[in-house]
C-alpha cells in the first residue's frame, strides 16, 4: 500500500473512491479509522447522538466482500464510504430521535428513501448526528442531548440545525454527511464550520423518511469536505420517488460533468438587500473579495434586486410554524417517547406529555403555528404569508431571467458562542435572514467556505440558482474552490484560550 500523506479519516469521498478502485484500502480500514477518530474527538465536539459502531463494521465487512466481486469501474463512488446522518432522517433499525424527548427511543421500521439510496450505493452509515430539536434552531442548543461544538473553537456553536452533521465533517469524524434544510439548516452550519453544504431544489430529493418540520420547506441535502464530494453525494440522493408526491419526476443531470474550472460568461447577480445593516464587516469583506475571484475566473457580476427580502423571516416563521404545529401534533405521548405517567384523563395526559416532551423552542413554534392557523387569524397570518411567499418567488424568477446564479453571504455573522443567543429567539431567527428565501422559493443554494474571521472562525458564501439548476452553483463553487485555497490548518478542536 502506498504511503498516504493524510490519515484515512481525513480523506474525501473522491480520494476514498480512488483508493477503493485501486484496491489500496478496504471499507473496514476506513470505517475503523473514522470510528477511532470519533472515539478520540467526539467528546469535545458532541457531533453524534448515536454511533452505530458494530453495525457499521459489519456493514463494512459486507461491503468489502462485495467490492472484490466488482470490477473497479463497477464500484460506485460511495462504496465503502462512512456517512453521518442527521438524526431526523429515518434509519431502519437505528434509533432516530430528532433530539427530542417526545420521540425518545423511536426505532423506525423503514429507511428514508435517501438512506436506501445511499445503502444501495454501498455507503456505510456510521451514526446519527446531533441537531436542534426537530431541526428547530440555529445552533444545536435546543437539542435535548445538549449542544454540539464548533471544531474551530469549541466555545462556539457549529450552527444549526444540522450542526452535528457540519461539525463531524469539520472534525473529520465522518467522510460526508446528510442534513436537512428548512430555513438554512444545512448552509448555516456548513458556513460556521467551514464545510460545503447544499440545499437542493424543493422536490429534487425525496422527503420520505425525513421527520417533517415544515413539509413545504424541508429538503435533505449533502454536507461535505469539498464541492466534488457535494456533487457526488447530491447525485446519489437525488431523483423522483413514488413515495413522495412532492418529489419531481425530471431527469437528474450528471453533476460531476459540470465541475469545470471555467466560468466564462457566467452571470452572477449580487442582491444589494443582502449587504445592508446587520452584516458583519469581516463577513462582508470576505464575500466582496470572493466576488473579484469570480470575476477573475471569467464571471460577470451584476447588481440585482430582491425587493421582498425583508419580509422573508416573518413569512417563514408563519408558514414553517403553521406546518410544524400540525406535523408535531402526533407526538402526544401515546406511541413515541416521553409519556407522563400521572394524569387525570386523556387530554390531561396529552398536555402533560407534550409539556415535558418538547423543549421550549419547539413549544414556542407549535404555539405560534397554532395561533396563525386559528379561525379568525388564518387570513391575516397564514394566507397573507402565502401571498408574500409568492412575491418572494417572483423576485427570484425575475432575477434569474437576467442572471445565472446569485451570490450572497450565507449568514450575517460568523459562528457565535454557545449560550450567547439562546435566550433571544428573535435575534436567533434573524440569523437565518440570508438562507430562508431559498426555502420559501424552493430554489437550490450552496454554502462554501470563503475565508476566516478575525477570530479564526470560518465564513461562508452562498450561491443560489433557479429551480433544478444545482449544476450551475456546483460549477461556480467548484471553480472557486479550485482557485481560492483557503484551506489553512485543519480545525484545532479546542477552545481559543488553549490555542
Partner 1 sequence: MKYETVIGLEVHAQLLTNSKIFCGCSAKFGNPPNSQTCPVCMGYPGVLPVLNEKVLEYAIKASLATNCHINEESRFARKNYFYPDLPKSYQISQYEAPLAEKGFIEITVNEERKKIEITRIHLEEDAGKLVHTEGYVTSNKSFADFNRTGVPLIEIVSEPDLRSSQEAREYVRKLRTILQYLEVCDGNMEEGSLRCDANISLRPVGSKILGTKTELKNLNSFRFIQKALEYEINRQCMVLEAGEKVIQETRLWDPDQNRTFSMRTKEEAHDYRYFPDPDLVPFSIESEMIHQIKAGLPELPEIKIERFIREYEIPRYDAEILASSRELADYFEACAGFSSHYKMIGNWIMGELIRELRNHNRTVANCPVTPEILMGLLKMIDEGIISGKIAKYVFEEMFKTGKSAEQIVKEKNLIQISDQKELEEIIDKIVAENPKVIEDVLSGKKKAMGFLVGKVMKATSGKANPGIVNQILKKKL
Residues in contact with partner 1 by CB under 8 A are 88-90, 96, 98, 103, 106, 108-110, 112, 207-212, 214-216, 242-246, 322-323, 325-326, 329-330, 332, 334-336, 346-347, 350, 370, 373-375, 378, 382
Residues 464, 70: Cα–Cα separation, whole Å = 38
Task: Tell me the closest approach of the beta carbon of residue 90 to partner 1, in angstroms.
Answer: 5
Nearer to partner 1, 130 or 247 (CB): 247
Nearer to partner 1, 195 or 362 (CB): 362
- Specify which residues 196 forms β-bridges with: 224
Nearer to partner 1, 122 or 164 (CB): 164
The DSSP bridge pattern shows strands 405-409 and 458-465 to be antiparallel
Of residues 26, 33, 143, 161, which has the active-site annotation? Answer: 161
Residues 61, 67: Cα–Cα separation, whole Å = 10
Nearer to partner 1, 332 or 395 (CB): 332
Picking from 87, 86, 91, 362, the residue whose alpha carbon sits closest to that of residue 214 is: 362
Residues 308, 314: Cα–Cα separation, whole Å = 11
Of residues 17, 33, 86, 102, which has the active-site annotation? Answer: 86
Picking from 486, 483, 482, 480, the residue whose alpha carbon sits closest to that of residue 266 is: 480
Task: Tell me the closest approach of the beta carbon of residue 403 to partner 1, in angstroms.
Answer: 29
Task: Tell me the closest approach of the beta carbon of residue 246 to partner 1, in angstroms.
Answer: 6
Residue 278, classified by CB atoms within 10 Å of its CB into exposed (0-12), middle (13-18) or buried (19+), is exposed
Task: Tell me the closest approach of the beta carbon of residue 107 to partner 1, in angstroms.
Answer: 11
Helix (H) or strand (E) holding 129: strand 124-129
DSSP-derived secondary structure for 300-369: EEEEE--GGGGGHHHHHHHHHHHHHHHHGGG-SSSSSS---S--SSHHHHHHHHHHHHS-HHHHHHHHHH
Of residues 185, 206, 247, 447, which has the active-site annotation? Answer: 185
Nearer to partner 1, 266 or 349 (CB): 349
Task: Tell me the closest approach of the beta carbon of residue 209 to partner 1, in angstroms.
Answer: 4
Q: Which residue, chain included where needed, has cell 448552509? A: 187
Decide if 180 is catalytic: no
**CB atoms closer than 10 angstroms to residue 485:** 7
Nearer to partner 1, 10 or 246 (CB): 246
Q: Which residue, chain included where needed, has cell 427530542? A: 100
Residues 82, 59: Cα–Cα separation, whole Å = 10
Residues 230, 18: Cα–Cα separation, whole Å = 16
Nearer to partner 1, 442 or 449 (CB): 442
Distance of CA 131 to the CA centre of its chain: 10
Residues 191, 283: Cα–Cα separation, whole Å = 11
Q: Any idea which residues carry the catalytic annotation? A: 86, 161, 185
Amino acid at each position: 500500500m502506498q504511503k498516504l500523506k493524510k490519515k484515512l479519516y481525513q480523506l474525501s469521498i473522491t480520494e476514498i473512491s480512488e483508493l477503493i478502485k485501486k484496491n489500496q484500502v478496504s471499507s473496514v480500514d476506513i470505517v475503523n479509522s473514522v470510528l477511532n477518530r470519533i472515539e478520540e474527538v467526539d467528546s469535545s465536539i458532541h457531533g453524534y447522538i448515536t454511533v452505530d459502531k458494530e453495525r457499521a463494521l459489519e456493514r463494512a465487512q459486507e461491503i468489502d466482500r462485495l467490492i472484490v466481486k466488482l470490477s473497479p469501474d463497477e464500484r460506485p463512488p460511495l462504496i465503502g464510504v462512512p456517512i453521518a446522518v442527521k438524526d431526523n432522517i429515518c434509519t431502519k433499525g437505528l434509533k432516530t430521535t430528532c433530539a427530542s424527548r417526545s420521540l425518545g427511543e423511536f426505532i423506525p421500521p423503514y429507511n428514508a428513501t435517501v438512506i436506501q439510496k445511499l445503502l444501495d450505493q454501498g455507503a456505510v452509515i456510521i451514526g446519527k448526528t446531533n441537531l436542534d430539536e426537530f431541526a428547530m434552531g440555529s445552533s444545536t442548543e435546543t437539542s435535548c442531548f445538549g449542544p454540539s461544538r464548533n471544531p474551530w473553537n469549541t466555545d462556539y456553536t457549529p450552527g444549526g440545525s444540522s450542526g452535528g452533521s457540519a461539525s463531524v465533517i469539520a472534525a473529520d469524524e465522518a467522510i460526508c454527511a446528510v442534513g436537512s434544510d428548512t430555513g438554512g439548516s444545512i448552509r448555516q452550519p456548513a458556513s460556521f464550520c467551514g464545510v460545503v453544504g447544499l440545499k437542493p431544489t424543493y422536490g429534487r430529493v425525496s422527503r420520505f423518511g425525513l421527520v417533517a418540520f415544515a413539509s413545504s420547506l424541508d429538503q435533505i441535502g449533502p454536507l461535505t469536505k469539498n464541492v466534488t464530494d457535494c456533487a457526488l453525494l447530491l447525485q446519489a440522493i437525488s431523483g423522483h420517488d413514488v413515495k413522495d408526491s412532492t418529489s419531481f419526476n425530471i431527469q437528474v443531470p450528471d453533476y460531476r460533468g459540470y465541475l469545470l474550472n471555467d466560468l466564462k460568461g457566467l452571470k452572477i447577480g449580487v442582491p444589494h438587500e443582502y449587504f445592508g445593516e446587520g452584516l458583519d464587516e469581516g463577513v462582508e469583506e470576505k464575500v466582496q473579495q470572493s466576488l473579484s475571484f469570480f470575476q477573475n475566473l471569467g464571471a460577470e457580476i451584476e447588481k440585482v434586486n430582491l425587493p421582498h427580502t425583508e419580509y422573508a423571516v416573518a413569512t417563514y416563521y408563519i408558514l414553517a410554524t403553521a406546518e410544524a404545529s400540525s406535523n408535531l401534533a402526533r407526538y402526544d405521548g401515546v406511541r413515541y417517547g416521553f409519556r407522563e405517567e400521572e394524569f387525570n384523563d386523556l387530554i390531561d395526559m396529552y398536555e402533560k406529555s407534550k409539556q415535558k416532551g418538547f423543549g421550549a423552542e419547539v413549544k414556542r413554534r407549535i404555539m405560534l403555528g397554532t395561533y396563525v392557523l386559528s379561525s379568525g387569524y388564518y387570513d391575516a397570518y397564514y394566507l397573507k404569508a402565502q401571498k408574500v411567499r409568492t412575491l418572494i418567488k417572483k423576485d427570484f424568477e425575475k432575477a434569474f431571467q437576467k442572471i445565472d446564479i446569485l451570490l450572497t453571504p450565507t449568514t450575517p455573522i460568523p459562528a457565535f458562542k454557545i449560550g450567547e443567543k439562546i435566550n433571544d429567539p428573535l435575534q436567533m431567527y434573524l440569523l437565518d435572514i440570508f438562507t430562508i428565501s431559498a426555502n420559501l422559493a424552493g430554489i437550490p443554494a450552496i454554502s462554501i467556505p470563503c475565508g476566516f474571521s478575525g477570530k479564526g472562525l470560518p465564513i461562508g458564501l452562498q450561491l443560489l440558482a433557479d429551480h433544478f439548476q444545482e449544476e450551475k452553483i456546483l460549477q461556480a463553487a467548484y471553480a472557486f474552490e479550485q482557485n481560492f485555497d483557503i484551506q489553512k490548518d485543519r480545525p484545532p478542536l479546542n477552545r481559543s484560550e488553549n490555542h
